Chains A and B, each alone.
Chain A
Amino acid sequence: MSGVHVSTTINGDPVEFVCNADEPLLDVLRNRLGLTGAKEGCGTGDCGACSVTVNGRLVCSCLVLGAEIQGAKVETIEGMAKGDQLHPLQKNFISFAALQCGICTPGFLIAAKALLDKNPDPSEEEIRFGLAGNLCRCTGYDKIVRAVQATAKEMRGA
């Protein structure tokens, strides 16, 4: 199988890699670039643990080929905190205990950020619909929803 050479931008940094033609972006991130924040839960776009944004669109990185991100702008969980400064969502996930095993957490954070970027004042229903593509087997979702609500309030300065 011949390699595909890709130049792209990940979390603001220029990145180059060679991947197989059928290699998912998730595998590129984890196995070639050492960005192991995105997790493989199902590999078929059902669980959201591999969520990233590509050109500002929330996607499952397991359902994107590495070859497709030539020239794109990718944001992963590794780019969410600014240095030592956690994003308000990250802080609130900790303070609301919105995680237990933590496998789903990077995906939830990326999806929650995408939601709040678009809708700074979501209702509980909008949050639940917005995060319906992310599965969590531990928390029962309630603490996640509370953490997102608190973050939305905080970020609106309310």
Chain B
Amino acid sequence: MRYEAPETMKSAVTLMATEKGLAFVLAGGTDLLVKMKGGFLEPDLVVDIKRIKGVYDIKKSATGFTIGAAVPGVALAENAALVKAWPGVVEAANLIGSKQVQGRCTMVGNLCNASPAADSVPALIAANARVVISGPKGKRTIPIEQVPVSPGRTSLKKGEIIESILLPKRPSNSGDAYLRFIPRTEMDIAVVSVGVNLELDSKGVIKNARVALGAVAATVLLVPAAAKALIGSKLDDAALEKLAAACSAACKPIDDKRGTIEFRTKVAGVLARRAAQIAYKRAGGK
């Protein structure tokens, strides 16, 4: 295995694009190094992107936040402006692993690991986040839900590296939340998870909504029917009922040791209600 730590994104892309063998990007390494240790992956090249300028930055601008590819979970929580604007996203990312893992793990890594149970991904999809990708043909920006395509696989082409995540500017009267079900109190993998992001009008009526479910299909799912169930409501019981039904209907889960199909389908609806209530409150709804 070769280890390279280039100082520009351009050279990182060139290294990834020209490697004939198996090449991986290293940021936090909390998935990659575990897979290497377990013998599941034997890379020929590892490209450490952490010496590239800007990868540790969280930048706030008029259009929102740009979060660099190497920003660890713990640094998200330390950024008061980000926590205030996107509490659901930060909470989701901070649920990944232990404090030690939080010192290294990144949201881009969580996304590119492409687990359907990735904690930060439903919250990011609900937030309408996008990713900036650098590749041999230049840069492109795509919605985050287009990155994972199946468990462990992404839509990234050879040589492409995600350099940052873009979170939109938080509109007034809006809020987000993320909840997951695990059988323990911490440090576990989601059996079912949900991210909800709501925007209200001045009267507390939901005018925009995005709902995403994790661990109930091959990829994290954006559920437009769940959003539709909420739009136009003040999150009354009937809307919550419709939301839960839409979420359960969208589930295509597997049976495994962590949860059955029936359990996951039911709990998706339950968690969606609860997350929607938190997001509604955060948006200033009563």
> Footprint of B on A, CB under 8 Å?
1-2, 4, 20-22, 24, 43-45, 48, 51, 53-54, 57-60, 62-65, 67-68, 70, 111, 114-115, 129-134
Are A57 and B103 touching (Cβ within 8 A)? yes
Q: In this assembly, does B136 line the interface, its C-beta being within 8 Å of a C-beta of chain A?
A: no
Q: In this assembly, does B6 line the interface, its C-beta being within 8 Å of a C-beta of chain A?
A: no
Q: What 5 A-B pairs come out closest when comparing CB atoms? A: A133-B98, A21-B3, A57-B103, A59-B103, A133-B100
Q: In this assembly, does B203 line the interface, its C-beta being within 8 Å of a C-beta of chain A?
A: no
Are A65 and B34 touching (Cβ within 8 A)? no
Chain B residues with Cβ under 8 A from A131's Cβ?
99
Are B37 and A44 touching (Cβ within 8 A)? yes
How many chain B residues touch A (Cβ–Cβ < 8 Å)? 28
Alpha-carbon distance A111/B99, docked complex (angstroms): 8
Taking a contact as CB atoms closer than 8 A, the residue among B38, B46, B50 that contacts A21 in the complex is B46
Alpha-carbon distance A132/B182, docked complex (angstroms): 15
Chain A residues with Cβ under 8 A from B30's Cβ?
45, 63
Chain A residues with Cβ under 8 A from B74's Cβ?
57
Are A45 and B100 touching (Cβ within 8 A)? yes
Q: In this assembly, does B22 line the interface, its C-beta being within 8 Å of a C-beta of chain A?
A: no
Are A58 and B100 touching (Cβ within 8 A)? yes
Are A64 and B5 touching (Cβ within 8 A)? no
Alpha-carbon distance A76/B60, docked complex (angstroms): 35
Are A4 and B100 touching (Cβ within 8 A)? no
Looking at B34, B99, B100, the one whose CB has the most chain A CB atoms below 10 A away is B100
Are B99 and A67 touching (Cβ within 8 A)? no
Residue of A at shortest CB range from B186?
A132
What's the minimum C-beta distance from B156 to chain A, rounded to whole angstroms? 22
Taking a contact as CB atoms closer than 8 A, the residue among B43, B48, B72 that contacts A57 in the complex is B72
Alpha-carbon distance A129/B102, docked complex (angstroms): 12
Residue of B at shortest CB range from A2?
B2
Q: Name the interface residues of B95-128: CB closer than 8 Å to any CB of A.
A: 97-104
Chain B residues with Cβ under 8 A from A60's Cβ?
100-101
Are B99 and A130 touching (Cβ within 8 A)? yes
Given A4-B3, A63-B30, decide whether A22 and B100 contact each other with a Cβ distance below 8 A: no
Taking a contact as CB atoms closer than 8 A, the residue among A45, A64, A65 that contacts B97 in the complex is A45
Q: Name the interface residues of B34-53: CB closer than 8 Å to any CB of A.
A: 34, 36-38, 43, 46, 48, 50
Are A111 and B104 touching (Cβ within 8 A)? no
Are B187 and A132 touching (Cβ within 8 A)? yes
Alpha-carbon distance A112/B74, docked complex (angstroms): 16
Chain B residues with Cβ under 8 A from A48's Cβ?
98, 100
Chain A residues with Cβ under 8 A from B72's Cβ?
57
Q: In this assembly, does B33 line the interface, its C-beta being within 8 Å of a C-beta of chain A?
A: yes
Looking at A22, A48, A54, the one whose CB has the most chain B CB atoms below 10 A away is A22
Q: In this assembly, does B1 line the interface, its C-beta being within 8 Å of a C-beta of chain A?
A: yes
Are A133 and B101 touching (Cβ within 8 A)? yes
What's the minimum C-beta distance from A146 to chain B, rounded to whole angstroms? 20
Looking at B36, B37, B103, the one whose CB has the most chain A CB atoms below 10 A away is B103
Taking a contact as CB atoms closer than 8 A, the residue among B3, B50, B103 that contacts A58 in the complex is B103
Q: In this assembly, does B29 line the interface, its C-beta being within 8 Å of a C-beta of chain A?
A: yes
| Inter-chain pairs besides A1-B1, A62-B37, A133-B187, 20 sampled, C-beta below 8 Å | A21-B46, A22-B1, A22-B46, A24-B33, A24-B37, A44-B34, A45-B34, A45-B101, A48-B98, A63-B30, A63-B34, A63-B100, A63-B101, A65-B48, A67-B5, A67-B48, A68-B29, A70-B5, A111-B99, A133-B101
Taking a contact as CB atoms closer than 8 A, the residue among A1, A44, A67 that contacts B38 in the complex is A44
Are B2 and A21 touching (Cβ within 8 A)? yes
What's the minimum C-beta distance from A143 to chain B, rounded to whole angstroms? 20
Are B5 and A111 touching (Cβ within 8 A)? no
Q: List 27 A-B contacts (CB under 8 A).
A: A2-B2, A21-B2, A22-B3, A44-B37, A45-B33, A45-B98, A48-B100, A51-B100, A57-B74, A57-B103, A58-B99, A59-B103, A59-B104, A60-B101, A62-B37, A63-B101, A64-B104, A65-B3, A65-B33, A65-B46, A67-B3, A68-B48, A68-B50, A115-B99, A131-B99, A133-B97, A133-B101
Q: In this assembly, does B132 line the interface, its C-beta being within 8 Å of a C-beta of chain A?
A: no
Q: In this assembly, does B26 line the interface, its C-beta being within 8 Å of a C-beta of chain A?
A: yes
